[in-house]
Amino acid sequence: MTRALYPGTFDPIHYGHVDIATRASAIFSKVVVAVYDAPPKKLLFTTEERLSMACIALAHLPNVVVMSYSGLTVNYAHEAGASVIVRGLRNVADFQYEHQIGWANHQLAGDVELCCFFCNGDYAQLSATILKEVASLGGDVSQWTPPHVQQALSDKFSQIATDGQAAKIGGRQGKLSHRS
């Protein structure tokens, strides 16, 4: 009865992530997909949005739950009762990164093991960054992420475009009123 933690930013979740969660759920008794609350990188979606999208994308997997967390991943692994951290590997860069983080985690908590899955070849080049870039330009991302995430991406970029437009108009109005 080994419980695993699958941590990540999931900004947003895509089929590469779903594939890893699905395969982990077939091996471990329970998989806690842990959405990191405050990563040191700029995010498109809020924690609540990322959590909600992941919940819907993984709802068909009965032994998978989705939670958010902050702080050290190993501390959250202990809190969640997980003795294994699951990560996905796409390429050598992922390997090098996971090797280093895995070493640090092991120094911090020797009782938490790392289990890396080689990604499904269909998603080897897929990243949340590529997904967001294509979606921001109106490209078709249906082969990479579920319909509700496609919708969320489309809504988010429409909102950003509207806000940008409003800011421009606001800026002009500001100048106009300043001069008048």
> Shortest approach of ligand ADP to residue 98 CB, angstroms?
7
Alpha-carbon gap, residue 2 to 69, rounded angstroms: 20
Measured from the CB atom, the residue of 17 and 30 that comes closer to ligand ADP is 17
Please, what is the minimum distance in Å from the beta carbon of residue 1 to ligand ADP?
23
CB of 101 to ligand ADP, least distance (A): 9
Residue bearing tokens 């108009």: 169
Residue 55: how many other CB atoms lie within 10 Å? 16
Smallest distance from ligand ADP to CB 94, Å: 5
84 beta partners: 4, 113
Residues that bind ligand ADP (CB under 6 A): 8-10, 16-17, 20, 39, 87-88, 90, 94, 119, 123, 126-128
Nearest residue (CB) to ligand ADP, 109 versus 116: 116
Q: Output 8 or 168, the one with its CB closest to ligand ADP.
A: 8
Q: Which is nearer to ligand ADP, 53 or 119 (CB)?
A: 119
Residue number with CB closer to ligand ADP (38 or 160): 38
In angstroms, what is the minimal distance from the CB of 63 to ligand ADP?
18
